[in-house]
Amino acid sequence: MVKRSILKRFLALLYPERCCCCGRPIICGKLICEACRPKLKLIKPPVCSFCACMVQHCRCNKRQRHTNSCAAPFYFEGAAQSAIYRLKFKGKACAAEIFCLAMAHTVRREYADIDFDCIVPVPLSRDALRKRRYNQSAVLAKGLADLLDIPYAELLNKQQTTIPQRELPAYRRSGNVLGVFDATDGVPEGGSVLLVDDTVTTGSTLDECAKILKLYGAQAVYAVTATVSRLSNQSL
């Protein structure tokens, strides 16, 4: 036992644990550093179930969507934005850890009464997956499935590569993802699905995925994302 703890300490010197948000070495057992903690913009209830923002920040006009509801622990700002960047573009899948824990907390709070049949990630196209090597939404969904003890299922495919939603103005985003997803066998007939993505802005991607899952038999699709972008009035 003594030998093992010495080895662990030695390894920690060689490979120090790093802050999920900024990547700086950090004290063992912590997920984020002291500098990043105050820069995490936590979403506190009451939240708008349509756009996942705090009610005082909601600009969505409660537009009805195929997703029954949407929730997220953080705004896409500050330290959470840095962690998404590391997870998505720097190949740091370990940055997902802070999000999985926070998303589990959000799901338990916002969807307390719902009995989910499975957790499903928003898919990447084959080309995008080859380039990125992993699907960041799948990493989040698997971590969340473990924490919440709900089965993980890849029930959606993305048939085509699309222009990244972040590169398009809001009014072009729903057209960009229209008809690009398909479902595999195994969508729970009459069941409830928890759909997972890294971030939500206009909600077009989640909406299109929820539409397909419902076409294939799901009765309800609830979404949870790691972060949500606050929409300005101009981008609606």
The secondary element (H helix, E strand) that includes residue 220 is strand 220-228
- Looking at beta carbons only, is 19 or 119 nearer to Zn ion? 19
Q: Is residue 83 close enough to count as binding Zn ion by CB under 5 A?
A: no
Stretch that binds Zn ion, among 30-38, 65-73, 151-159, 161-169 (CB under 5 A): 30-38
In the bound state with Zn ion, the residue whose beta carbon lies nearer, of 51 and 107, is 51
Q: What mask, x for binding Zn ion by CB under 5 A, covers residues 37 to 76?
A: -----------x-xx------x-x----------------
DSSP secondary structure of 22-82: T--B--TT-SS-TTTGGG--B--SSB-TTT-SBGGG--STT---SSSEEE-SEESSHHHHH
In the 8-state DSSP scheme, what is residue 152? B
Size of the site for Zn ion (CB under 5 A): 10
Whichever of 69 and 192 has its CB closer to Zn ion, that residue is 69
Give Rg (Cα) of the chain: 18
Shortest spacing between CB 62 and Zn ion, in angstroms = 6
Q: Which residues contact 219 (CB under 8 A, 6 or more apart)?
A: 190, 191, 192
Contact 152, 141 (CB under 8 A): yes
Q: Which is nearer to Zn ion, 212 or 228 (CB)?
A: 228
Residue 168 binds Zn ion, judged by CB under 5 A: no
Site residues, Zn ion (CB under 5 A): 19, 21-22, 33, 36, 48, 50-51, 58, 60
